[in-house]
Amino acid sequence: MNFKKENIKNLKTKGKRIRNSNVNIMTKDDIKYRQGRSKRQVEATERIMFIASICLGTTLLGIIIFGILGG
């Protein structure tokens, strides 16, 4: 419970860097644009989503081709 109070208190500070309960230093951009996640975490998630969308597209294309040829 104390961690939540500290985080709320730290979010209200006017400093450029904000500290969370895991002692990671977060910028205001992390809080405002990335919902508290670091830039590294966001980039990793975006990479995984890109790979997953390529796989989904390939699967759908395969289903369409198999449906046309295998009919």
Residuewise pLDDT in 10s, the chain (71 residues)? 455 555 555 555 555 555 555 556 777 877 777 888 888 899 999 999 999 999 999 999 999 999 999 86
Look at residue 1 in the predicted model and tell me its pLDDT: 47
Asked if residue 33 and residue 43 are part of one domain, the reply reads no
Predicted pLDDT of residue 8: 56
Which domain range does residue 57 map to? Answer: 38-71
Domains in the chain, number: 2
| Spatial CA neighbour of 23 closest among 8, 41, 3, 42 | 3
Distance CA 23, CA 48 (A): 26
Confidence (pLDDT) at 18: 53
Check whether residue 10 and residue 32 sit in a common domain.
yes
Question: Does one domain contain both 28 and 45?
Answer: no
Half-sphere exposure of residue 48: CA atoms within 13 angstroms, side-chain side: 6
Q: Look at residue 63 in the predicted model and tell me its pLDDT.
A: 95
Q: What's this model's pTM, rounded to 2 decimal places?
A: 0.55
**Same structural domain, 1 and 33:** yes
